[in-house]
Amino acid sequence: MSHQSELIASDIDAYLAQHEQKELLRFLTCGSVDDGKSTLIGRLLYDSKMIYEDQLAKIEKDSATHGTTGGSFDPALLTDGLKEEREQGITIDVAYRYFSTAKRKFIIADTPGHVQYTRNMATGASTADLAIILIDARRGVLEQTKRHSFIASLLGIKHVLVAVNKMDLVDFDEQVFDQIQKDYREFASRLDSTDLHFIPISALEGDNVVNLSERSPWYKGSTLMNFLESVYIGSDRNLEDFRFPVQNVLRPNLDFRGFSGTISSGIIRKGDEVMALPSQKTSRIKEIVTFDGNRDEAYAPQSVTLTLEDEIDVSRGDMLVRPGNVPKVEQKFDAMIVWMSEQPMMPGNQYLFKHTTKMVTGSFNTLRYRVDVNTMHRQPSPALELNQIGRVNVSLNQPIAFDRYRRNKSTGAFIVIDRITNVTVAAGMILDRRTSDDSPDHWDEEPQSESLTREISAVSSEERAARYGQKPVTLLLTGLPGAGKSSTAYGLERSLFDMGRSACVIDGQNMRLGISRDLGFSTVDRSENLRRAAEFAKLTNHSGLICILALVAPHDEARVKAAQVVGGDDFLLVHLKAPAEICQARNQTERDSETTERVTVDYQEPESPDLVLDTENLTTIECVDEIVKLLESTERI
């Protein structure tokens, strides 16, 4: 399994060239206390023969005095090198280990499991491609397991391997493994983990780590090492958006002026046009200079020096991008932050914000909510305490060039530094390109041009009614997430179609995948989402169709405005009512129709809806029948 090769003895240059071309995988181990993170790394390196003999002899000697395995070989000591770590048998600081196999190079981050060291875990996860979440088979999914999983998801780690450890202590019981797998999947359904895998292991004894274990014949998957060597990460790199934060202006002599830094994302070629931000001055790439000589192209994450054909002003902290693909340059944005200081985060306090190579001052305008890592619910909070996670509105004293963190980790991340102590107090991930607090209310806005006129169709509404056998109307199905809006809407569409009528559904989730993909879930954004749906429904009604809106639409003021947009006579409000606990239980297995993330909604029940449906006691078919009766009684069909 190791990187030993015959080329080492015969052709060292060929071996080094081969080794240089291997793909690099960065991964971390995380989870709750004593789940076996350090032990797993030690076992991984030991079984793959990646430990030097003198180092192995020292660990075997230290196992007698510092080990937690009764004097026998303790693999955890390979990474737990601090005196305090060995005395307590825990991991405190992030430990990095480097090794390679015939297929890949690896950088491992062993992160601590204690709650008070959550900030260290976030540090290790910030550069990882993959996370190994360890779970003690005896204890199952714990709060710290959920916290680390949420942070891994928050930091954009797409590949997650859940290693159910200490299976030897439960006799490799398949039912125990299946139950943990079920519990974790239920929790992870609320996260943004696109690639999730499970492996039963014994880190201490090596079962299913490098070699398949005979003690788990029911497990038909790969070993942990084989998974690490084969997981595909090629598509994780952003090679579309060229971003080059300038770290230094290199001026060795009068004839050379270059801009040095690391390419955050994208590809750059000699002769390409670039724009400097924030000045927006443009030029072309003259040379791409590296330690090994000039190149015709470079790509992330290479460190290069770029020279330009024109003498434009570019300084440290500026960013070079392509003119047709630029990030947002603003002073305000929304972000998720992990608070890492004993002193609580208070909105309004001034901090230093380090973003790429730029350092600016700023503050948190508002703390929008704090996330409960157990339930994933949003909770109001006046401040963030140590290791808590929340969504904030950031206001800087000068603009920065940034992307959404999900699209570009390098330009979407920042750290927050205390101005007095110079201590890092938070890590942040930018969510929105604009702050929802500054979102304009478009309900009453006038068109951007006074010359615009409304075109009149050559087909009258009477002709459409005669053709379709119906009068157009918009039905807004509103209710809590999980109340049954989407299923009722599509059931109604099917029923009307079978009756020879023409209808369409505007579902909240489909809206957010397309027309409203730029919106979040604040009060302002929900209102704007309803406005767009109402405008679309109005056009649909003008075509003679029945339009069914399936949206949470939690606020009465926005619902009234939607009725005004469509036209009060052509708007019917249907309230799907169910207890909050029932809706929450449904959401354990179903996605909300308006959002793929779990949210708690400050829902205002309509005062005088046209129809109320008790979805706790009525089936979807019965709800559809009631709405059909409403349409018949109002002479729409």
Residue 25's beta-bridge partner residues?
106
pLDDT of residue 507: 92
* Paired tokens of 307: 């020279």
| Helix, strand or coil, per DSSP, at residue 178 | helix
pLDDT of residue 212: 92
Report the alpha-carbon distance of residue 228 to residue 176 in Å, rounded. 24
pLDDT of residue 269: 95
pLDDT of residue 597: 38
118: left (phi over 0), alpha (psi -120 to 50) or beta: alpha
Assess contact for 538 and 561: CB atoms under 8 A: no
DSSP H or E run through 581: helix 580-586
pLDDT of residue 407: 85
pLDDT of residue 143: 83
pLDDT of residue 91: 46
Main-chain phi, psi angles of 105, to 5 degrees: -105, 150
* Paired tokens of 50: 């990646």
Q: Kindly report whether the global pTM for this prediction surpasses the value 0.85.
A: no
- All domains in the chain, ordered by first residue: 7-236 (3.40.50.300), 243-321 (2.40.30.10), 328-436 (2.40.30.10), 464-633 (3.40.50.300)
Burial of 392 from C-beta contacts in 10 A (0-12 / 13-18 / 19+): buried
pLDDT of residue 413: 92
DSSP secondary structure of 81-95: -SHHHHHHTS--S-E
pLDDT of residue 87: 47
pLDDT of residue 73: 59
Assess contact for 283 and 314: CB atoms under 8 A: no
Residue of 443, 422, 595 lying closest to 522 (CA atoms): 595
Number of residues written out for the chain: 637
Assess contact for 430 and 414: CB atoms under 8 A: yes
Give the torsion sign (CA, 453, 456, 461, 464): negative
Residues of the chain where predicted confidence (pLDDT) is lower than 50: 1-2, 81-92, 433-438, 589-600
- Geometric angle at alpha carbon 504, from 502 and 509, rounded to 5°: 170
pLDDT of residue 178: 94
Assess contact for 601 and 436: CB atoms under 8 A: no
| Helix, strand or coil, per DSSP, at residue 288 | strand
